[in-house]
Amino acid sequence: MENKKVLVTGGGRGIGRAIALSFAEKGFDVALVARTKSEIELVSDEIVSYGVSAIAKVCDVTSSQEVDRIFAEIEKEMGKIDIFVANAGMLLKNELIHTDDSLWKKIIDTNLNSVFYTTRNIIKGMIERKTGRVIVISSVSGKLGGAYRSAYHAAKHGAIGFVRSIALEVAEYNITVNAICPGFVETKMMADSKEFFVRSDSIDIENELKKDIPMKRFLDPGEIASMSVYLASDSASGITGQAYTISCGAVQV
Ligand SMILES: NC(=O)c1ccc[n+]([C@@H]2O[C@H](COP(=O)([O-])OP(=O)(O)OC[C@H]3O[C@@H](n4cnc5c(N)ncnc54)[C@H](OP(=O)(O)O)[C@@H]3O)[C@@H](O)[C@H]2O)c1
């Protein structure tokens, strides 16, 4: 893994942070982007403690111009990116009849259009070099419906369709493109949105949610990171166009 470089969007906390640290532990140089400077700088400090290089840049991945500008800076400073992880995302509740255009657009921009802007940018270099790995963090929400969350589910379904299509488009260049579809992972996003998933007024939301999970637990961000590192490894060179569910048994597709 020495001298290999990974770029992780949304690397400031949660799943993205765990992915960034797991790659650092394996000897990758790591670039991080997100909007909150203080968070990516903290993760960057943790990364360098593994003896690898880190770059942390503020970038809003919903702007294609900003993505193109910041990703060019990263490649100039760090060199070509071998592994790209499109992880940045956000979950907001949107009851259809009360969803205005701007709310819909914000959720789709963050969870789907960002995947297009960032992958389009990074994959050009991968095609030139005839090698690369793209990993998109979708969700079990990309495989199931979800009442009052139509925009998030539509975006996460879209991300899987994008992965399956781009995987076919770039297969001849020795580039793999896969999605990971987590169930509930203990992060800020989950803490902020637990109540979106329960229909009752239960005060014990955690236990209410765990009732529907066969293993009766939530995931740790490190469990998503392990799958990312595997998909980037030589052992996974023949895996492309797949969408892997990690859900403690809650979703079997
Ligand atoms: N947690 C779960 O249960 C779960 C389950 C399935 C899928 N997922 C997916 O996993 C991914 C990570 O989620 P998480 O739970 O780790 O969430 P999180 O703790 O809220 O972290 C999200 C990360 O994305 C960044 N981000 C959000 N909007 C961005 C933007 N416009 N531009 C750049 N960065 C942006 C955030 O940083 P800033 O806000 O500073 O920009 C943060 O670093 C998301 O795609 C999410 O949909 C999560």
For the stretch 155-187, pLDDT in tens is: 999 999 999 999 999 999 999 999 999 999 999
Please write the tens of the pLDDT for every residue from 200-234: 666 788 888 999 999 999 999 999 999 999 999 99
- Tokens of residue 142, six digits: 């990309």
Using the CB atoms, write b or e for 237-253: b if 16+ within 10 Å.
eebbbbbbbbbbebbee
pTM: 0.98
Which numbered atom of ligand 1 lies nearest the CA of 224? Answer: 10
Instruction: Give dist(CA 68, CA 70) in Å, integer.
Output: 6
**Ligand 1 close to Cβ of residue 184 (< 6 A):** yes
Q: How far is the CA of 4 from the centre of ligand 1 (A)?
A: 24
Spans of all domains in the chain: 5-185+220-246
What CATH number should be reported for the domain whose range is 5-185+220-246? Answer: 3.40.50.720
- What is the sign of the dihedral through the CA atoms of 18, 46, 8 and 51? negative
Please write the tens of the pLDDT for every residue from 108-126: 999 999 999 999 999 999 9
Q: How far is the CA of 110 from the centre of ligand 1 (A)?
A: 9
Q: What is the secondary structure of 61-73 as a DSSP string?
A: TT-HHHHHHHHHH
**Ligand 1 close to Cβ of residue 155 (< 6 A):** no
Instruction: Give dist(CA 98, CA 158) in Å, integer.
Output: 22
- Tokens of residue 77, six digits: 């400073």
Closest-CA residue, ligand 1 atom 29, reads 88
Which numbered atom of ligand 1 lies nearest the CA of 218? Answer: 3
Q: Is 230 a catalytic residue?
A: no
